[in-house]
Structure 1
């Protein structure tokens, strides 16, 4: 199977062809400027929406293409090869869409299918940081409505998403979490500041504050108190596979850039290309092996999710943990193999070096994933119940 091989269904092939055209026409040409300025890649997202990418995973009954996580993985890999920021925005969109599909949120899904609605996750919070399974934000009843209060720490596409899949403490039930559909323009929501980060500079990942945010009770996604189960069983497999796929696209892109540099650059005093130098070649080989190893794991994990295999949960956890490390390792090797040229922006190696650092600290972090995988292997609860937070349902943490 080659790096460019895709799912064999006509639907997947047609979608990938349209996505490739959008990448070539819009995403790739804008990537350097998106990184330089930190601006949200609005034109790239619009081009992908026009190509049918935003609605790809919405079931046909709501007007979408009904693509699975395997096809979405391929889309994210290809986008990431051109622009990591754009790939992360679409990956978060697909992850949030999975929850809207599970909840049958027809209004939002029809708009997503039409390419007119971008959604995202609003899980991580200032009080619990990367421990997304322990929200401190609250929900309280107010007649037929619900009032939400929260300090979300990082929300991708915070200023630009049309909706958030939002976590809070339960309204009244037992359990650590309830999920909600929250339109971004709901009064009481404020996006705090902008994003000026080391890598993925255009992903608009910003804090979001909710103060007396009133939404209909019908905006609850699933049952009260059952949000953690939904997050783990519905959202997390998509999030993990797609994050891993973004890291894979980065690995493949940085390997291709390194190959081109080594082959095309000469040491004139010995009349040899850099590719003829042994240390550079061995570093390149290690990069390719890292990419191929992770491609095999990600493909298997996505296939396990689609097939409902019993090993799917473990494989998706492994996939992100492995790809997090693999992308950083490949980018490190590229910086060394390309030498001083890698520090210049035109080679795009240093951009991918910076982008490769993000995945390791994106919840669940690599350290957390290693612990969760170990817990799974030992038959322990995946998350220590002591980490679910101390607030009572419906009450804010003091």
Structure 2
């Protein structure tokens, strides 16, 4: 008789996400009020194995799909947008590294194995760097000295590595962006508590300051001309924003639920029904655009056309999420103005969806250039 091979148990991420969302809901307002990091949310996610979930099973991780983790972030975002967004920032780095290993044979397996084995939490500076990058690299024996201030480093209070870049003025090739992982603890690095903001106050998105930190040659994982689109950024655009905008869709869903709880206690009124209908339309718009983002992330081929569509969906999802929360405030009426309802926090948190790259006007420019067949670096 043939021996039966026992399949590894798969994680029910939807169920886990709902448990985590319920457990952390009571902490969200406190972190919002005192600008403190969402430690309870991250602890719950770590206990569930979330931070290594996107690492392929062959490399010691959970082997989850992008869609599964988008679902986790969305559900958590209903209760706490800050936990969801900070978790998304780690997740998109892992997802991109896993895609590159699987599809390009890129040597990202070392990082992915470390994430699983050492329970690393990754922090991104991509939102403040993007194509031009920031900071300088000075060539020294065996490597470079890094001088930079990196803003919007979500998750930095508990982060292990900052996945970042800086500009080296190459004597032959001119301004060149070098990509590398920099430790968030040790000589030459400090975290400046600058994150006092309108919303997403619990993400710990403080500034990371590098003052001459040594980055060895072996740590450089890639290089590219400054300010130009590179295949790495087409991969990032294809995958990352489905995860990031899961948080905003989740915030919109949470706001809709709270608004309906308030509205259902009122007498029937055609005007109220119409307001709710407008809220429902806005949320459906966010849902449809975001689902397309997930499809692109899981099945797309990186390149200008894919990037353009993913970025269009990023704009549409963000706008519709903002519209949903604004309409939820209107549905709830004056009660929405009180902090205890959570709607004013949702309203502030969802505004952050405006600021991730590509912001609306650069996104429109890219879409137009792709449609017209123009050079996207023009």
Q: TM-score category by the smaller chain?
A: 0.7 to 0.9
Deviates more, 1:39-48 or 1:368-377: 368-377
1:18 paired residue among 9, 16, 19: 16
Q: 2:131 aligned with 1:123, yes or no?
A: no
Within the candidate set 65, 70, 73, 1:68 is matched to 65
Contact residue 52 and residue 115 of structure 1 kept, 8 A: no
Instruction: Give the structure 2 partner of residue 110 of structure 1.
Output: 113
Work out whether 1:319 is the aligned partner of 2:319. no
| CA distance 1:320–1:217, change in 2 (3 Å) | same
Asked if the contact 1:48–1:54 (Cα under 8 Å) also holds between the matched residues in 2, the reply is yes
Return the match for 1:296 from 288, 291, 314: 288
CA pair 307-71 structure 1, distance change in 2 beyond 3 A: same
**Post-superposition offset of 1:369:** 1.9
Rounded to whole Å, the distance in 2 between the matches of 1:381 and 1:152 is 29
Indicate whether 1:180 and 2:180 are aligned.
yes
Aligned pair 1:255/2:249, yes or no?
Answer: no
Q: Report what 2:214 is aligned to.
A: 214
In structure 2, what is the equivalent of residue 49 of structure 1?
A: 46
User: Is 1:338 aligned to 2:332, yes or no?
Assistant: yes
Match of 2:25 in 1: 28
Partner of 1:377: 371
Residues 12 and 364 (structure 1 numbering): CA distance in 2 closer, same or farther, change over 3 Å?
farther
How much is the aligned-residue C-alpha RMSD, in angstroms?
Answer: 2.5
**3-state SS in 1 of match to 2:165:** strand
Q: Secondary structure at the match of 1:289?
A: helix
Q: 8 Å contact 1:159–1:204 — kept in the other structure?
A: yes
Q: Work out whether residues 260 and 332 of structure 2, in 8 Å CA contact, stay in contact via their aligned partners in 1.
A: no
User: Is residue 281 from structure 1 mapped to residue 279 from structure 2 by the alignment?
Assistant: no
1:141 is matched with 139
Q: Distance in 1 between matches of 2:254 and 2:117?
A: 30
Q: Which runs of 5+ in 1 are unaligned?
A: 1-9, 126-130, 267-272, 385-398
> Retained in 2: the 8 A contact 1:19–1:53?
no
Unaligned runs of 5+ residues in structure 2 are 1-7, 101-105
Post-superposition offset of 1:170: 4.2
Q: Using structure 2 for the length normalisation, give the TM-score.
A: 0.87
Q: Give the drift of 1:230.
A: 4.9
Distance 1:309 1:153, change over 3 A: closer
**CA deviation map 1:285-326 (0-9, x unaligned):** 122222222212221221123123576423311121012111
**Alignment pair present for 1:245 and 2:246:** yes
User: In the TM superposition, what whole-angstrom CA distance separates every residue of 1:240-261 from its partner, at most 9, and x where no partner exists?
Assistant: 2122221111111111111111
- Equivalent residue for 2:352, pick from 344, 355, 358: 358
- Secondary structure of the structure 2 residue equivalent to 1:196: coil
Say whether the 8 Å CA contact 1:167–1:180 is kept in structure 2. yes
Change (3 A) 1:24 1:111: farther
* Residue 79 in structure 1 maps to residue 82 in structure 2: no
Residues 284, 337 of structure 1: 8 Å contact kept: yes
User: Is the 1:171–1:225 contact (alpha carbons within 8 Å) kept by the matching residues of 2?
Assistant: no
Q: What's the CA shift string for 1:320-371, capped at 9, x where partnerless?
A: 1012111211111111221110011121111101111111023322332222
Deviation sequence 1:13-37 (CA, Å, 0-9, x none): 6223223222222x22321222122
